[in-house]
Structure 1
Amino acid sequence: MLTRETPVVIDGPVGQLEALYLDSAEPKGLALLCHPNPVQGGTMMNKVVSTLQRTARDAGLITLRFNYRGTGASEGSHDMGSGEVDDALAAANWLRAKHPELPMTLLGFSFGGFVAASLGGRLEAQGENLSRLFMVAPAVMRLRDEDTLPHNCPLTVIQPETDEVIDPQLVYNWSNELARPHELLKVAECGHFFHGKLPELKELVAPRLSN
């Protein structure tokens, strides 16, 4: 199994985006990963994103993670809104162009949960048939009326119960009000960055990627 990611450069809407790509000899699908808040130091190398990437890799998926505009070696400056979703769309289009036949899964952590959710709606509107969407400790307060979630793919929301960054009750309330089918998984005695709980996160995600 291939384990070493390859650095790639993607043409983004405001400049080149730094990314890491991992191919697979017998791929079962594609996984695009969206990282947390860049203003607070979030990058594609975040340990939660890295855990999600390895989980997707182990499930036989081709993976792509990338830095939003103004993060790492990615050009441009932070937008903290639709701009990062635009970047994610460019990454998704790059991945789709390389593998037009494989189903795509989106995984986002924290701010990246907002990005992945909004991206999913855009992709579905373009005719993309997504395989699954994971929102991990998602920044649901950033979702606006124009940020439409995808309707046709399974949605899994994973929320730490002692999250010190995203108020868990905000996520619970958002989940209760969300009309589309989804599952909400709560992780007990777990903070936002899954300190000591990364194996539990992998155990929650892995079987759902394999289904």
Structure 2
Amino acid sequence: MSNRENSLFIDGPCGPLEALYLEIPQARGLALLCHPNPVKGGTMLNKVVSTLQRTARDAGYSTLRFNYRGVGASAGDHDMGSGEVDDAEAVVRWVRGQLPQLPLNIFGFSFGGYVALNLAERLAVLGQVPERMFLVAPAVMRLDRATMIVPQGSDLTIIQPEQDEVVSPQLVYDWSAALQRPHELLKVAECGHFFHGRLGELKDLVSSRL
């Protein structure tokens, strides 16, 4: 079995979206990966996203990661909001056409956590609640706390570096404490936003919960 991802383009709201797709025979589920802030250089090849992809792959999941509009070879311009969520929703529609039987698991890192949460909320309205969600250093400061609903029915794990220099750890802790649903918050001591030297620990935390 090849572990090599296939490069492809998926039709998005603003044109083709660049993606990397790995279909595993008899997969346990599908892992969709949402990358960090494109304005700060975030792409689907980010090392945290790549670590999450390999972790899901090694656990027996088919994987799909993609570049938002205006990133890499994806068409369009950055929206830094609902546009990237629209892109993620289009990617889900495509992969549902390929693997309709597999439960969906959503991974989001940094700004990708914002995208993942908004995507999950949209899918829940359609009766398509994800099986699991992993939010790594999620950009909760971007969320509309007045209206955001984190869907019930999916396992939710939040992984937050304690020395995060990009996303305030305390904001994530406060947001976690206010959630009206079961979830797990994992704090990674002596670790910065990009998990420099700690990617192996991130992999262990995620793989033990897949």
> Would you say same fold, with TM above 0.5?
yes
**Counterpart position of 2:120:** 120
What's the CA shift for 1:143? Answer: 1.0
- In structure 1, C-alpha distance between the alignment counterparts of 2:192 and 2:122, rounded to whole Å: 30
> 2:209 aligned with 1:208, yes or no?
yes
1:36 aligns with 2:36: yes
Q: Secondary structure at the match of 2:7?
A: strand
Letter in structure 2 aligned against 1:131: E
Q: Are 1:6 and 2:15 an aligned pair?
A: no
Residue 181 (structure 2) aligns with: 180
Partner AA of 1:82 in structure 2 = S
Letter in 2 for 1:138: P
**Residue aligning to 1:61:** 61
SS for the counterpart of 1:208 is coil
Q: Is the 8 A contact 2:19 2:64 kept in 1?
A: yes
Alignment-mate amino acid for residue 161 of structure 1 = E
Identical-pair percentage: 66
Query: 1-side partners of 2:57 and 2:173: how far apart?
Result: 29
Native 8 Å contact 1:56 1:206 kept in 2: yes
Contact 1:2–1:23 (8 Å) recurs in 2: no
1:2–1:25 CA contact under 8 A, matched in 2: no
For 1:39 and 1:150, the matched residues in 2 are separated by 28
Q: Does structure 1 retain, via aligned residues, the 8 Å contact 2:120–2:129?
A: no
Runs of 4+ in 1 over 3 A off after TM superposition: none
Q: Spell out, residue by residue over 1:3-38, the C-alpha distance to the aligned partner (whole angstroms, 9 max, x if none).
A: 100001100011110000001022111000000000
With the length of structure 2 as denominator, give the TM-score of the two structures: 0.97
CA distance in 1, matches of 2:27, 2:201: 25
TM-score (norm 1): 0.97
Unaligned runs of 5+ in 1: none
Q: How is 1:1-211 mapped onto 2 (pairs within 5 angstroms)?
A: 1-144=1-144, 145-209=146-210
User: How many aligned positions are there?
Assistant: 209
Moved more, 44-53 or 137-146: 137-146
